[in-house]
């Protein structure tokens, strides 16, 4: 088969523009044509590779997988477009390539997304490129002696147009979030809303107000997000439900309405990812609105004897297994910081398990299966041990120079401030100590007043007068049971980071 450069370029451009058109319309929602390819890439990646990528590349591993999915999808569409171009070249009928390529692109997109209208965003740009290809390149070919320069100019213009379109769609699609979460009163009542707002106000008041340190509640759009997939599900209230199955007296299913008819309350809960580095930023707190999981379990009545654990499944194919006991005080959240859950945090409902690593706080939760025997969850299959209680940590995220002072012995001393958050799950934080001499001597830091709730972090703050030079600041927490945060350093893999955070502060 003899394929010309023009044909290849047209087909490749059609593939890129098909993906770009789809992203401009759908963003990272399931209507994006590359969404199922992305899920497939994640699924087919062996666990050891995933874990190695997380350890070696961090969040870039995720981006790489998404980039690969985009390239594969564009390649697939380009292959279809190439077939259409070849067909058009042999046909007497004008625009055969446009009809064939646009039609095949539409069918492929429909197969991938199941949405006829959204699939037009793939077919349209593909057809447009094929039309330009059939007209434009052909004219270039007939242009006689000036052919080289004409076709080069055309190639540059075409490349520019494709790149421009891809850039535009990357910008457009990035803003598309799927559901727009309304106020939590929409699905509960005014009193629940007022209480959530009051709690937010209270967190604001109790925050230590240190410059450069986030408050006791993390604003929703700054709350960390960890998903196995690059494209999150977008279930609607009407289509979503949650079942309790397995070793139960009777299996029960709740739809969203039924769920919100239960006793709704607001709770402060902190989440932390087992995969984050020791002083990382994947630890945040919100006011969550929801119902107690035991209310759901009561209706199903798990068989008392012979049950050990639960397998919780989600709409995105994620699943986690952990001891049944952990569900006793668990919460099913439908709201976050006074509004409904955003799609990225599990709309319409997610699990919150007090004191446990983030990974078992299953988002888009769809089934709670009571088990008689242990199984491995998604991350445990990939080598992690992240289903248990969190490690104790005191982070150091703010270093502030408060001003020159005269109380230093040699003059020229500076009043310094360091601060951060401390968290120990349901054990709570008893104290945080700071050393400014590399761990020789320790002083207790100020702590924010505890917020109500059994699984909430605290802020700490420490100020001292520092002589000019370098100071090795170390910080460590003691949990509510009196246990000091272990000093020995460990990487996040497989059981969460340990050690004391330290930082050299130059004055
Ligand atoms: N369905 C589903 N639930 C999930 C995940 C996921 O990928 N899919 N990620 C888990 C992990 S590893 C963490 S740390 C928390 C993060 O919750 P957040 O994204 O709301 O901060 O969600 C957990 N729940
Ligand atoms: Mo996580």
What is the sign of the dihedral through the CA atoms of 51, 52, 57 and 62?
A: negative
Q: How far is CA 363 from CA 33, 140, 265, 350, 429, in A?
A: 23, 54, 19, 4, 27
Task: Give the sign of the dihedral formed by CA 473, CA 477, CA 478, CA 483.
Answer: negative
Write out the DSSP string of 191-206. Answer: HHHHHHHHHHHHHHHH
Q: Which of 318, 363, 382, 496 to mutate to test the pocket of ligand 1 (most atoms within 8 A of CB)?
A: 363
Q: Which two tokens stand for residue 271?
A: 């989440």
Confidence check: pLDDT of 410 > 80: no
Q: Which atom of ligand 1 is nearest to the CA of 223?
A: 21
Range in 21-35, 85-99, 128-142, 160-174 the model is least confident about? 128-142
Q: Is the dihedral of CA 346, 349, 354, 359 positive or negative?
A: negative
Could you say which DSSP state residue 483 is in? P
Looking at the structure, give the CATH architecture of the domain made up of residues 393-506. Sandwich (2.60)
Task: List strands edge to edge, sheet with 501-506.
Answer: 443-444, 429-435, 470-479, 501-506
Ligand 1 center–CA 483 separation, angstroms? 28
Atom of ligand 1 nearest to the CA of 344: 19
Q: Which residue ranges make up each domain of the chain?
A: 5-173, 184-382, 393-506
Q: Answer whether the bond into residue 494 is a cis peptide, omega within 30°.
A: yes
What pTM value is reported for the model?
0.92
Least confident of 290-304, 381-395, 430-444: 290-304
Determine if the peptide bond prior to 348 is cis (ω within 30°). Answer: yes
Rounded to the nearest integer, the mean pLDDT of the chain is 93
CA 48 to chain centre: 21
Question: How confident is residue 158, by pLDDT bands cut at 50, 70 and 90?
Answer: confident
pLDDT (tens digit per residue) in 433-467: 999 999 999 999 999 999 999 999 999 999 999 99
Do the Cβ atoms of 420 and 445 come closer than 8 Å? no
CATH, domain range 184-382: 3.90.420.10
| Count of CB atoms situated within 10 Å of the CB of 454 | 15
> Are 114 and 32 spatial neighbours (Cβ–Cβ below 8 Å)?
no
**225 Cα to the center of ligand 2, angstroms:** 9
Per mean pLDDT, which range of 54-63, 412-421, 465-474 is the poorest? Answer: 54-63
- Spatial CA neighbour of 277 closest among 19, 498, 22: 498
Residues facing residue 429 across a β-bridge: 479
pLDDT at 411: 65
Please determine whether the domains at 184-382 and 393-506 fall in the same fold group of CATH.
no
Using CA atoms, how far apart are residues 59 and 50, in angstroms rounded to an integer? 11
Q: Which of 359, 380, 388, 391 to mutate to test the pocket of ligand 1 (most atoms within 8 A of CB)?
A: 359
Q: Which residues contact 111 (CB under 8 A, 6 or more apart)?
A: none
Measured between alpha carbons, how far is 433 from 464 in angstroms, rounded to an integer? 13
Cα–Cα distance between 493 and 507 in angstroms, integer?
Answer: 35
User: Beta-carbon neighbour count of residue 15 at 10 Å?
Assistant: 28
143 or 16, which is more confident: 16
Q: Identify the residue whose tokens are 């299959």.
A: 381
Where in 424-469 does DSSP place strands (E)?
Answer: 429-435, 443-444, 446-447, 458-466
Closest CA to 80 of 50, 123, 134: 123
Ligand 1 pocket residues where CB is under 6 Å: 223-228, 271, 273, 314, 316, 318, 345, 358-359, 361-364
Q: What tens digit of pLDDT does each residue of 8-52 get?
A: 999 999 999 999 999 999 999 999 999 999 999 998 999 888 888
C-beta of residue 399 within 8 angstroms of C-beta of residue 505? yes
Ligand 1 pocket test: which of 361, 379, 494 has the largest number of ligand atoms within 8 Å of its C-beta?
361
10 Å CB burial of residue 342 (0-12, 13-18, 19+) is buried
Per-residue model confidence as pLDDT tens digits over 167-203: 999 999 988 877 778 999 999 999 999 999 999 999 9
Q: Name the nearest CA neighbour of 369 among 339, 327, 330, 340.
A: 327
Contacts of 461 (CB under 8 A, 6+ apart): 208, 210, 417, 418, 419, 445, 446
Check: CB of residue 14 under 8 Å from CB of residue 136. Answer: no
Q: How far is CA 434 from CA 15, 139, 177, in A?
A: 57, 74, 41
Measuring CA to CA, which residue among 184, 274, 220 is closest to residue 494? 274
230 within 8 A of 38, measured Cβ to Cβ: yes
Question: What are the residues whose beta carbons fall under 8 Å from the beta carbon of 108, sequence distance 6 or more?
Answer: 33, 76, 77, 80, 122
Q: Whose CA is nearest to atom 16 of ligand 1?
A: 226
- Beta strands (DSSP E) in 326-427 are 331-336, 339-340, 350-352, 365-371, 393-394, 398-405, 413-423
pLDDT over 70 (residue 428): yes
* Alpha-carbon separation of residue 257 from 301, 348, 468 (angstroms): 21, 11, 62
Closest CA to 490 of 392, 398, 418, 424: 392
Residue with CA at minimum distance from ligand 1 atom 5: 227
């Amino acid at each position: 088969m003899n394929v010309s450069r023009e044909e290849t370029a047209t087909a490749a451009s059609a593939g890129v523009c098909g993906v770009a058109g789809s992203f401009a319309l759908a963003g990272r929602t399931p209507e994006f044509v590359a969404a199922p390819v992305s899920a497939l890439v994640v699924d087919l990646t062996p666990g050891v590779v995933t874990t190695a990528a997380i350890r070696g590349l961090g969040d870039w591993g995720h981006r790489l997988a998404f980039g690969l999915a985009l390239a594969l999808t564009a390649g697939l569409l380009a292959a279809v477009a190439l077939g259409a171009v070849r067909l058009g070249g042999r046909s007497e009928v004008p625009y055969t390539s446009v009809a064939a390529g646009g039609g095949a692109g539409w069918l492929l997109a429909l197969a991938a997304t199941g949405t006829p209208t959204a699939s037009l965003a793939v077919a349209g740009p593909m057809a447009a490129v094929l039309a330009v290809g059939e007209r434009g390149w052909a004219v270039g070919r007939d242009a006689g002696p000036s052919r080289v320069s004409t076709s080069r100019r055309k190639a540059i213009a075409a490349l520019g147009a494709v790149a421009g379109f891809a850039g535009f769609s990357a910008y457009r699609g990035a803003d598309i979030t799927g559901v727009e979460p309304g106020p939590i009163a929409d699905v509960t009542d005014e009193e629940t809303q007022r209480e959530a707002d009051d709690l937010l106000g209270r967190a604001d008041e109790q925050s230590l107000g240190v410059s450069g340190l986030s408050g006791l509640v993390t604003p929703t759009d700054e709350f960390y997000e960890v998903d196995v997939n690059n494209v999150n599900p977008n279930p609607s209230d009407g289509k979503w439900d949650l079942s309790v199955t397995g070793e139960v007296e009777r299996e029960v299913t709740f739809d969203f309405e039924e769920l919100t008819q239960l006793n709704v309350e607001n709770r402060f809960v902190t989440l932390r990812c087992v995969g984050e580095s020791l002083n990382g930023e994947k630890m945040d707190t919100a006011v969550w609105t929801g119902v107690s999981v035991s209310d759901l379990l009561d209706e199903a009545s798990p068989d008392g004897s012979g049950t050990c654990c639960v397998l919780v499944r989600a709409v995105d194919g994620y699943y986690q297994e952990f001891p049944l006991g952990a569900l006793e005080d668990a919460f099913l959240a439908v709201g976050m910081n006074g509004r409904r859950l955003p799609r990225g945090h599990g709309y319409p409902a997610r699990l919150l398990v007090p004191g446990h690593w983030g990974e078992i706080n299953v988002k888009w939760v769809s089934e709670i299966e009571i088990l008689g025997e242990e199984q491995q969850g998604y991350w445990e299959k990939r080598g992690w041990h992240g289903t248990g209680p969190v490690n104790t940590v005191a982070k150091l995220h703010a270093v502030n120079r408060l001003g020159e002072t005269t109380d230093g012995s040699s003059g020229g001393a500076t009043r310094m401030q360091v601060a951060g958050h401390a968290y120990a799950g349901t054990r709570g934080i008893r104290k945080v100590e700071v050393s400014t001499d590399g761990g020789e001597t320790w002083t207790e830091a100020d702590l924010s007043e505890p917020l109500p709730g059994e699984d909430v972090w605290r802020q700490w703050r420490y100020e001292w007068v520092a002589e000019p030079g370098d100071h090795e600041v170390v910080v460590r927490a003691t949990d509510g049971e009196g246990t000091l945060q272990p000093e020995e350093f460990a990487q996040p893999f497989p059981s969460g980071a340990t050690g004391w955070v330290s930082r050299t502060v130059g004055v």
